Structures are given as C-alpha cells and as structure tokens.
Amino acid sequence: MLSTLEQLRRQAWTGEFDRGALSRGQEYARENRVSIHSYTDNLIQASCRGSGAQLYEQQILLGTPGAPLIGRCSCPVGYNCKHCVAVLLHLQQQLPSATPPAPTTLRLSNSLLSWLQQLPKADCPDANSYPQGELSRLYYQLVPDLLIELYKVRLRKDGSLAEAKPYFSLREAIAREPRFLLPLDLRIARLAYSSRDNSYRHDNRLDLKGASGGEILALLLETGRLFLDIENDQPLRSGEPRQAHFTWQSMGNGDYRPAWQVDGGTNLEVLTAVEPLHYLDIETGQIGPLQHDLPARLASHLSQAPSVSATEAELFSLSLRELAPKVPPPCAPVEQRIDDLPPTPHLSLGSHLLTRYQSSTGRMGSEHQHRAGLSFLYADTRVHGKKVAAGERIRSVGRAEILSIARQPKTERALRQQLEQLGLRPALRQSQALPKDSAEMFDLASEEDWLDFVQQGLPELRKQGWQIDIRPGFLFDLTPVDAWYAELDEAPEREWFDLALGIVVDGQRISLLPVLLKLIRQNPQLLSATNLALRTDDELLRLKLDSIRREDGRALQVVLPFGRLKPILATLGELYLRDQEPSTALRLSRADAARLSELEGLALEWQGGERLREFARRLRDCQSVPALAPPGLQAELRPYQLEGLGWMQTLRELEAGGVLGDDMGLGKTLQTLAHLLTEKHAGRLDRPALAVMPTSLIPNWQDEAARFAPELRVLALHGPGRQKDFAKLADFDLLLTTYALLPRDLEQLKAQPLHLLILDEAQYIKNPASKAAQAARQLDARQRLCLSGTPLENHLGELWSLFHFLMPGWLGDSKRFTRDYRTPIEKHGDSARLAHLNARIKPFLLRRKKDQVAKELPAKSEIVHWVELSEAQRDLYETVRLAMDRKVREEIDRKGLARSQIVILEALLKLRQVCCDLRLVTSAVNSHKPRGGNSGKLDSLLEMLEELLAEGRRVLLFSQFTSMLALIETELTRRGIPYAQLTGKTTDRRTPVQQFQSGAVPLFLISLKAGGTGLNLTAADTVIHYDPWWNPAAENQATDRAYRIGQDKPVFVYKLIARGTVEEKIQQLQQKKAALAAGVLDSDGQGDWQLQQSDIDALFAPLPVR
C-alpha cells in the first residue's frame, strides 16, 4: 500500500473541492494555521484555525487509489471544506521529499477501508437532533390557501429568534443535506417535490393538496416547526380528530356554498385542500383530522364545489340527489314530468382553418374543415347523440317549476335521417369547427356540396322549423343577391366611357370590379380561361364583400353563378394585368365598346349608355354585316368582300384602325379601293389617302385602281421626278409610295393631312424600330389600315408593332406586352393569355382563309420532291456541319440559346447553301467536275423543268438566293429554255409580269424577297420552292401569287428538299412555326412555338449513312 505522501503526490485530490475552498485553503496553508496530529497510510488527523479564534478539527480519509477523498471537519460546512484543503497542502509541504520508511502499523484490507469511508457519515449526532453548535433551523409558516412558506432562521444561544430569511434552496438541499436540515426535513422535501403540485416551484413555498398534502401536513406537525407566524406564535400542534358534517350554507342573496360544521370549537377553519380533511383551531393552535361519514375523496370534492346560484338550486339539487344520494342537497326540489314533448331540431354550422403536415407534399399545409352539429332542443335544454338510454329524461328549469322531459329517440332518428338525405354524413374526424361534444357532427364531401346545401337545403330546413345557428367564421354564411346592374357613363366628347358592374345586396349597390380584380390577382388560375371553360353555368363562386359588414362586424358573403361571371370576366379581358388599383368603375376608350357585347345576354339592370350599347352591338357584328358596293366600282364584290367593306366602314365611324389579314389572293386591294370609293361618294374623302407598299406593288395598285375604281385620282410618288408632285398632293384621292421612300419623303408627307393611311404588306413594319415603321407612325390620318396576309410571321412582337402603328397604346408598350403576352404565350403556351389577346384584337383584325370564303378556287396540291446530295456535296456538308456545330455550341455555352441567334442563323445558312449548290459556298471550283456534280438538287430541278414544260405547264420558280437563280439562269440559257426573271435588281417590274401572264415565256424565276408578295400571277399552274425556309407564311405568300382569286386551274406546289439534311429538319420545324400564327390569328391554337435545345441537336445532326 502506498504511503500517505505517495498518495498525496499521485492522487488528483484537488478535484474533490470547489474553487472557493481551494483558494481559501491555499491562504490558510501559507499562514501556517494547520497542525498535523498524526497520519497513517490512509488517515490524517489535524486541526486548523478558522478566520477567528475558533479551532476546527479535521479527519481526512485518503482511501484506495481511485476512491474519493473524504474530508470531515467540525466547521459549519463539515465536509471537504477549505480547512481540509489547508491540511493537505500543509502536509505536502512539511513531509520530506523522499518516501519515509514504511510504518510499522499493519496495512488494512480493502473491505475495512471501504467500511471506514462510510464511518464519517455514520459518526453524526442523533437523527432528531442537530450537530453540536448548529444554531440554524428550517421553519415552516402556514399561510392561506394551505401554502407553506419556508424560512431559514438563526437562533441565539438562549433559543430566541435572531433572524429569519426566506429559504429558496430546499430542492437543492435534498442532494447537499446541509447540517441544519434534519432527516425529517429532507423527507418532507422529497415528498413535496415528487408531487405534481410543487414540481414547477422554485420559490420558498410548498403547495399542499390531496393525499400527499395530507401526509406532508402530518410530517410538518411532527417537526414542531410549523407556525402561523414564526415571529410571534407558538408552533402548531397535532390535535385530536373531531366530528364534522357537510352542509350547504345559505348566503344573503339566495345562493348556496359548500360548508362543514365541526364539533367542539368556534374559531375553526377547515383545510379542504388535503386528504383527509383537517381542521385548524386557531385558538388552541391545533391541527387535526375531521371525521365524517363520507368517502375521503368525495368529501374533498364536495369541499371544492362552486357556489350554487338561486336559479340553479332546484335543478342542482335534483341532479345531486340522483348522483350522490348520501350528500344533502341545498334545497328540496319539486318537478313536473312530461312524456310527449317533441324535440326542436337545432343545427350549428362552423368552419376551422387547420394547419398540419401534409405527407403527400412533405410540407405544412392548410385546409378548411366545416361541420354541421345536430342537437335537439327540449324546452330550454339541448341534447345530442344517437345513443339514448331507456327512459332517459331531461330536466329543464322553468319560471316556476322544474320539468322532467322524456327524450323521443324515434323522432330524433327521423330528423337525423332528414339531414342524411340532404347529403350530410357523420363526421369521422375530429375538428375544432364546432366546440367538442356540443352536438352530433356531420360533414360534406366538398366545398361545392356545402355551397349547394347552404343554397338549397338550409332554406328548406328553416321552413320546417329547424333552428339554425351559424357560428362566426363559417365560410358559407351567405347573403342572397337581390339584383345585378350595369352602369355606363359616356364622356361628352365620346372619347371614353366608364363601365360599372355590380350586385345589390341588402339594399346596397356593390361594385364587382374591384372584388373580382382582387380575386384574380390573388389567384389567377381560379378564373383563368382554361378553368372557366371547365365550369358549368350552375356552378357557384363564393365571394367575401369586405365593404359590407354585419352588425357583429363580420363581412357579408355571397355566391355568384359562373353563368353570369363568364361574360363579365370576358368583358374584363386582360384588364387585371394592369398595375393600377381597381376602382368601382372601368374607364375605357371608345374602341373598348366591343367589350359590352359580352354582357348583352345577362339579365342586368342597365343604367345609361343606350347609344353606346347600340354602337357596341354594331362593332360586335361589323365583321359579318355587309355594306353596299359603292357606285362607280367596276367589279362585283363577293359576299365576304362586302363584309370586309362593312367592317372598314364601321372602323371608320369608330375612328379606329384595323388589320385586314385575308389570305393572299382574296382581294385585299380591291376591298380597300371599294372603301376609298365609298368615302369619296359620301363626301368624306376631302383629304387624300396614302398607300405605302413594297416597290414591286406600285404597278399592281396602279393597274387595279385604273381597272376597278377609275374615279379615283391616283398619284404614284416614285422615281427621281417625284419631288415636283409634292406641291399638288391635295389634288389627288390616292397617293402611292414605298417603304424605302417613306422615310426620305417624310417631311413633305407630314405636311399633308390624310384621310386614310394604308400599309400594304404591313409585315414590312414588323420591326417597330425600323425607319419605315417610325416614319409611318408620324403621319397624320383619320384612319389607319394594315393589309397583310401574314400579319404574324415569327413572333407576337410583329403583331404588337402593327397595332402600335394602328392604335398606339392599345396593347400597351413593348415591354409590358412582352411581359403580359409574349413570354406567357410563346414560352409557356398560356392559353388564358392567348384568349385575352384574341379578345383584345378581335374587333380590329379581320382574317378570312381561302377554304372559308373562296370555295370556287381549284384544288392546290403540295408535293415534297426529295433529292439526294452529290458525293461532293455530302463531303462538304459534313465538313461544314462539324465546324458549325462546334461553333454554335461554343456560342450557346458562352451566351445562352436566346442570345446566340445570329451565330445559329449563320451556321444554318451555310448548310442550306451546300444543299443548293457547292458554288454558293466555295470561292472557286476545281477545273474538273466534282464527284457527282456541283448540285444534286440543280440536276433534279432541270429534269423536272424539262418534263413540266414539255407538258405545257406554266411554272413559277422561287429561291431566296439570287446567286442560285443566276446559276439556274445559266443552265436554262445553255438548254435554250425561255424565262422571265424578277429580283431586287429588276427596275422594270411590270414587263416580266406581263411576259409571263401573256404566255410569252413559260417559266418565271423570282427571288422570294422581291416577288413573294403583291404579284398577281394566275397564269401559273405550278410553283417550285427551290430552297425551303422555316417561315411557312413566306412560302405560302409566294405560292399565292398563283393560287388566288381568278385562278381557274389546279395548282401544284413542289418543295425541293435534300433528304437527311438541315432542309428536312426545317420542314418539320415549319409546323411549330405555323402554330404560333394560328394561335393568334385564328384563335384555335396555343401559340407555343419556340426553338429548343433539342431542335439545335436535330438541325446539326450528321447525314444518315447511305
């Protein structure tokens, strides 16, 4: 066994002491306050002088290695104190550094050492007495409500009270066991804090309740330190049991309260919180148990009973007599029995917003729960529940008597079945929609069922005498709509009007516009075009009207049928996209009168605006109401052309512009000339009209005006000598100019006010930033018209540009139009926005297709003529494709797909040129003929032409590349095939057209850009597209040079496409491109075309292996 010194050196004994003891012990050791009396291997006996003259004795047991050090001291701390620290430090300093000779005393066994370690705890005074010199005590003071306050007091040597302080550390004392607490105190502490009534307490109080409170009270009395007042009273003592009787004490106002009558005392208080009940005799200072003939728990429960009011006394007495016959009641009641009173059904309706975890989504979600609570009213008492005990009775307190009423289970069952017949079913899940256990709960499957029940079932139940209680917050607490109204207020100058739409509820007029606009903005999908299309007219929409409140402050709610809402929402159109706050009325431009037509079918109380409504009807029907052909028109207009004339006349009256978007060849020029002639005969053509067009169409307009409207004075502002004509513009009815000349002559044209401004082939201003578009917008005209068979070729921005010219602001500015329409429609296929846009432009866009209005046209056959690339073309195609594919993908990685269009188009151009002819992409051709020739497509074309011309066919040949036309021209000359040609370099355009139309030449070579629009070439019966592009509108426009009104022969359209190449992929993409135009112009598509990454992969795919 190690010596004392070795143990002190090796044992980490400082961990047995707190920081304060170590610090003070070091000071005492330095001040030599310690005396070592003796030490062995395990035990040290010493003394240490305290802060005063007091000398304290220490016994320190070192124990075995790893065992805790035990230091016992006679100081107030008593255990491992600063004096023990001083002894250990002193011993370490005084003993020699070398290990002393082993003592001659015998070493103790481990079992004896363990026993000795427990000896200090056993070597203490008697459990019921305090250590010698201990003057601190724990006193208990009884306060009202049976609370015990704890005080640590210090006594003088004569036993008198020196000081008393609230004691807050009884809970911690259970572990520390301070010297001034006896085992009985610790027992009280453990029992008190194990009770639920005190588990939360951290003050100087204990709460005595129930059986544990009674046990603690007995222990407190046993301590002899329980006081009513620790400073002035003697301690309370245990008293003998006393007899008690429970009764009801009558109060002055007729109420009753529980009370106990205790024998043998006058100044007594009953301690009702503990079990068993105890009395407190204040005069004698005694506490003792009460004896009575009731069970302990029942006695305690009776003691806690609330006061019974005078009005409740009889009914309470009856109930008490049935439940506890041994307990005396407050009074002796009398009751009247009724056996045949039918119940009155009572239905409560409530809602609750439940937020909980949704396992399907993995997120928190909210949903409304709705409940209908069924109960039955017997006299003034409500009951509920299916299970009715045999002979069950209900007691009700009347004015002068108590009624005992028999429940009627058969009647209750019939009333319950009536609810079930209305669709309600027993609720299987609990809900806070109604108070728990207040009624028998029912629910419905959906909110639509709740709406139907409130609208249909609830009024019927009220008629039958049911009592209906609608709780605050019930989502279907509805107020009926008395009427619907519409109000129009037109401005004196007729430039705008205000439209108000609303309902009448409880005699008040409520504007629906701000309510609906707010709802749409909060939940756009709820009233989207797609969702509305799925709604039947009988379905209902619930709305909360915050502007109208009930007497209790709740907002009124109404339901509106979708059959009425659909026309109103169609009237609103895209207006909810606006940023401004909604008001009670919409201020609309005069052109917006078309919106009113949607409301005509509703049963509305109209106020004002009769003339405006009539005008709206005319605008709605303007596309189908024909006008009379004007005198002097040298042509017979077809029915659809008369309708087009009527439409232009209506727009003129409205002072609005429009787009005549008929298919090519349906006579847009003729309809416009008829409109001008009508204006002339009406005396309104007091200013000239100006028509702007591509250069190639000037001769066509001159010819058709001279042929069909010879009365019109026409002036062509074209050529270098036009400057002399600007001084006499007012002398003419129709001025003709070109898009190229318009910006140059803008100042002269601005000086002349116009009656009508016409843009033919208006797609020329599809770029709103172009010089021609900017110039056209600066001209002053009473009316503006756009003529275009392809008002939309590539994207919706082109349509916006046309309307920006016709009616500035009608579709908003470009940024807003892109945000509200282009992006949702083109990128996301938003059918609701597409419907809004269609409704917005519908009155001002007239478009007829050939198959709709010109049934007399002969058939048109479209044929894809597949060609194979030559070997040299295939080699060069793969070389160019690999280079371009790498270049395009690098550009996309750097800038993204949307910003790489220029590079993509450049790459596609190279591949398309390879497909046409090697000479379009190579600066020089080898002296010898390439493998398979320069162009498999050119060879195939020449074979086709020889066959077609031999059959007597008249052919139009279109190409986008004038250089390709030059190569074709060389081959035709070599073969002696006569032809005419029209390109951008052709100055005399009329001559080649007349040559072909007259039959002088059988073949017409035309560049797509120069001659794809405006020409009338009905002599042709065959159209060949040499190089396709993915704009189907441009190709169709070129085809319609031949396939138009006046054509009397079947027309064959050939597209030459190199198999497996980019041309084949472009052919597939044309269908997507056409969908965008059809979606807006025909209102039957989604308008969802956009170039995807998959399209890029397809366009640059390698040629298939032969």
Contact criterion met (CB below 8 Å) for 184 and 219: yes
- Of 851 and 1065, which is predicted with more confidence? 1065
SS3 assignment for 360-392? CCCEEEEEEEEEEEEEEEECCEEECCCCCCCCC
pLDDT above 70 for 116: no
Chain centroid, CA 985 distance in Å: 59
pTM for this predicted structure: 0.47
- Of 742 and 572, which is predicted with more confidence? 742
Which residue, 343, 418, 331, 339, is CA-closest to 377? 343
DSSP reduced 3-state for 457: helix
Q: What is the pLDDT of residue 410?
A: 92
pLDDT band, residue 785 (cuts 50/70/90): very high
Alpha-carbon distances of 807 from 218, 687, 749, 760, 812, rounded to whole Å: 99, 20, 20, 17, 10
Contact criterion met (CB below 8 Å) for 1026 and 916: yes
| Strand-pair category, 1051-1058 with 344-358 | unpaired
E strands present in 595-726: 605-607, 658-660, 689-693, 714-716
Q: What is the pLDDT of residue 1091?
A: 60
pLDDT above 60 for 227: yes
- Quick one: average pLDDT of 297-315? 84
* Residue spans per domain, the chain: 4-122, 136-238, 242-323, 343-392+408-470, 483-618, 626-853, 860-1099
Chain centroid, CA 291 distance in Å: 69
pLDDT band, residue 986 (cuts 50/70/90): confident
At the second CATH level, the architecture of 860-1099 is 3-Layer(aba) Sandwich (3.40)
Contact criterion met (CB below 8 Å) for 303 and 258: yes
- Of 740 and 523, which is predicted with more confidence? 740
Two structure tokens written together for 86: 């001083």
Q: What is the pLDDT of residue 821?
A: 81
Please, what is the end-to-end C-alpha distance for the chain in angstroms? 101
pLDDT band, residue 981 (cuts 50/70/90): very high
- List % helix, strand, coil for the chain (3-state, nearest 5): 40, 25, 40
DSSP reduced 3-state for 341: coil
Two structure tokens written together for 879: 């070389």
- Quick one: average pLDDT of 221-240? 90
pLDDT above 70 for 73: yes
CA pair distance 630, 676, nearest whole angstrom: 9
CA pair distance 154, 131, nearest whole angstrom: 14
pLDDT band, residue 440 (cuts 50/70/90): very high
pLDDT band, residue 106 (cuts 50/70/90): very low
pLDDT in tens, 667-680: 899 999 999 999 99
pLDDT in tens, 328-355: 888 877 778 888 899 999 999 999 988 8
CA pair distance 476, 855, nearest whole angstrom: 56
Long-range contact set of residues 8-15: C-beta below 8 Å, sequence gap at least 24: 8/62, 8/88, 8/91, 8/92, 9/92, 10/65, 11/62, 11/65, 11/69, 13/62, 13/69, 13/88
Which residue, 476, 367, 371, 461, is CA-closest to 422? 461
Neighbours of 853 (CB within 10 A): 20
Residue 228 forms beta bridges with which residues?
none
Cis peptide before 295 (omega within 30 of 0): no
Amino acid making up residue 822 = R
- Of 527 and 425, which is predicted with more confidence? 425
- Of 69 and 647, which is predicted with more confidence? 647
Q: What is the pLDDT of residue 572?
A: 64
Give residues with Cβ within 8 angstroms of 835, minimum separation 6: 529, 1083
Q: What is the pLDDT of residue 1088?
A: 41
pLDDT above 90 for 13: no
pLDDT above 70 for 5: no
CA pair distance 663, 494, nearest whole angstrom: 35
pLDDT band, residue 947 (cuts 50/70/90): confident
Q: What is the pLDDT of residue 582?
A: 60
DSSP reduced 3-state for 422: coil
SS3 assignment for 943-968? HHHHHHHHCCCCEEEEECCHHHHHHH
- Quick one: average pLDDT of 660-666? 80
pLDDT above 50 for 16: yes
pLDDT in tens, 711-734: 999 999 988 889 999 999 999 999
CA pair distance 673, 73, nearest whole angstrom: 126
Q: Which of 36-40, 346-350, 536-540 has the highest mean pLDDT?
A: 346-350
pLDDT in tens, 585-619: 666 666 666 666 667 666 777 777 677 777 777 66
Token match 């022969």: residue? 1049
CA pair distance 557, 555, nearest whole angstrom: 7
- Quick one: average pLDDT of 374-391? 86
Give residues with Cβ within 8 angstroms of 3, minimum separation 6: 41, 99, 100, 102, 103
Token match 């989502």: residue? 475
pLDDT band, residue 47 (cuts 50/70/90): very high
Q: What is the pLDDT of residue 448?
A: 85
CA pair distance 284, 573, nearest whole angstrom: 92
- Quick one: average pLDDT of 1097-1105? 82
Query: Interhelix angle for 871-895 vs 901-916, to 10°?
Result: 180
Q: Does domain 626-853 have CATH number 3.40.50.10810?
A: yes
799, 804, 805, 806: CA torsion to nearest 10: 80
- Is 626-853's fold the same as 860-1099's? yes
pLDDT above 80 for 322: no
CA pair distance 1037, 967, nearest whole angstrom: 24
Neighbours of 18 (CB within 10 A): 11
pLDDT above 60 for 575: no
Alpha-carbon distances of 176 from 80, 154, 991, rounded to whole Å: 12, 19, 122
Contact criterion met (CB below 8 Å) for 170 and 180: no
Amino acid making up residue 961 = F
pLDDT band, residue 1083 (cuts 50/70/90): very low
- Of 24 and 497, which is predicted with more confidence? 24
pLDDT in tens, 624-658: 668 899 999 998 898 889 999 999 998 898 778 99
Q: What is the pLDDT of residue 1013?
A: 66
Taking the alpha carbons of 3, 9, 13, 18 in that order, is the dihedral positive or negative? positive
Alpha-carbon distances of 784 from 165, 195, 665, rounded to whole Å: 100, 93, 22
Give residues with Cβ within 8 angstroms of 736, minimum separation 6: 690, 691, 693, 698, 701, 702, 714, 715, 716, 717, 718
pLDDT above 60 for 923: no
Exposure string over 66-83, b if 16+ CB within 10 A, otherwise e: eeebbbbbbbbebbbbbb
Q: Which of 34-43, 458-467, 947-956 has the highest mean pLDDT?
A: 458-467
Percent of the chain exceeding pLDDT 70 equals 84
Which residue, 472, 548, 538, 476, is CA-closest to 512? 548
pLDDT band, residue 742 (cuts 50/70/90): very high
Taking the alpha carbons of 919, 923, 926, 930 in that order, is the dihedral positive or negative? negative
pLDDT above 50 for 125: no
Q: What is the pLDDT of residue 110?
A: 60
Contact criterion met (CB below 8 Å) for 900 and 891: yes
866, 870, 876, 881: CA torsion to nearest 10: 20
Number of H-type helices and E-type strands within the chain: 35, 44
pLDDT above 60 for 822: yes
Give residues with Cβ within 8 angstroms of 513, minimum separation 6: 500, 501, 502, 572, 582, 583, 584, 585, 586
Long-range contact set of residues 974-978: C-beta below 8 Å, sequence gap at least 24: 975/942, 975/946, 977/945, 977/949, 977/1003, 978/1002, 978/1003
pLDDT above 80 for 910: yes
DSSP reduced 3-state for 503: strand
Which residue, 191, 188, 179, is CA-closest to 152? 179
SS3 assignment for 814-859? HHHHHHHHHHHHHHHCCHHHHHHHHHHHHHHEECCCHHHHCCCCCC
Give alpha helix (H) positions in 338-465. Answer: 409-421, 447-452, 458-463
- Quick one: average pLDDT of 839-861? 76
